[in-house]
Amino acid sequence: MKPTLPQSALDQLFLAAHTAQGFQAESVPDATLHALYDLLKWGPTSMNCQPARYVFVRSAEAKERLRPALSPGNVAKTMAAPVSVIVATDTHFFDHLPEQFPAYDARPMFAGNAALAQETGMRNGSLQGAYLIIAARALGLDCGPMSGFNAASVDAAFFPDCRYRSNFLVNLGVADPAAGYPRGPRLDFGTAAQIL
C-alpha cells in the first residue's frame, strides 16, 4: 500500500486550505498554467471523456469582458485576482472519444442522447473542476471558486458559437491572508456518510 502523504501535504490540499477572497499582486505566468493543466488532466473521467474546458482570464481586456457577468459581491475580488478561470463544459466532448477512448466507438452513445451527454458532461466537467482546485493547491496556489455569476452572460461573451457552457469560476493566485472569512463548519460523518 502506498503511504499516506506527509501532514504538510494534507494540510496544503485539504486540512488548512481555505477559499481565497483576496490575492497578492504576484502574477501567474503561462508556465504555471501549463503545469497546472499537466497535473489536473490526469484526474479520472468516465470513458476518459474529459469534458472540461478551462479559460484562463488574465489580461485586463479579458477581465473587462468577464466583469458584467459577475455578481456584485464577486466583482472586486475577481477583477483583482491574478487569473480567473472559467471552468466550462464542451457540449460536444464526445467528438474526442474515438481518439481518447479507443476501446470501442462510444461517440454514438452520447451523440444520439442529449440528456446523457448533458449529464455526463456536467458530472465529469465538475470532477475536473475539482481536480483544478486541488492541483492548484498542490502547486502552492490558492483558489477562490465561485458560482455567483450570470452563466448566460459569460457564455455570450466567451463562447459565441455555443459549444462550451460555463460551469463555475475559480480565482487563482497567492492569497492575501488579510482577506478572508472564517472557514465554515462541515457536516459530521453520521450526517454525510454511512457504512453498510
Chain positions 119 to 178 lying near a second copy, rule: CB under 8 A, are 120, 122-124, 126-131, 133-135, 137-143, 145-148, 167-168, 174
Instruction: State the alpha helices, DSSP H only, in 27-178.
Output: 30-40, 60-66, 72-80, 97-100, 107-111, 114-138, 151-158
Candidate list 41, 67, 92, 163; residue touching a second copy; CB under 8 A: 41
Q: How far is the CB of 108 from a second copy (least distance, A)?
A: 17
Contact 45, 127 (CB under 8 A): yes
Report in angstroms how near the CB of residue 87 gets to a second copy at its nearest.
10
Query: Which cell numbers in the block locate residue 129?
Result: 473542476
In the complex, minimum distance from the CB of residue 16 to a second copy, in angstroms, rounded to a whole number: 9
Residue 191 belongs to what H/E stretch?
A: helix 189-192
Q: Is 104 in the site for a second copy (CB under 8 A)?
A: no
- What letter would DSSP give residue 56? E
- 59 forms part of the interface with a second copy (CB under 8 A): yes
Could you tell me which of 141, 144, 118 has the C-alpha nearest to residue 13? Answer: 141
Under rule CB under 8 A, residue 69 binds a second copy: no
Among 21, 58, 69, 94, binds a second copy (CB under 8 A): 58
Task: Write the CB contacts of 40 (distance below 8 Å, at least 6 apart in sequence).
Answer: 128, 131, 132, 134, 135
The stretch among 56-64, 74-82, 104-112 that binds a second copy (CB under 8 A) is 56-64
Stretch that binds a second copy, among 74-82, 105-113, 117-125 (CB under 8 A): 117-125
Spatial contact of 150 and 160, defined as CB atoms under 8 Å apart: no
38 near a second copy (CB under 8 A): yes
Is residue 81 a contact residue for a second copy (CB under 8 A)? Answer: no
CB of 149 to a second copy, least distance (A): 11
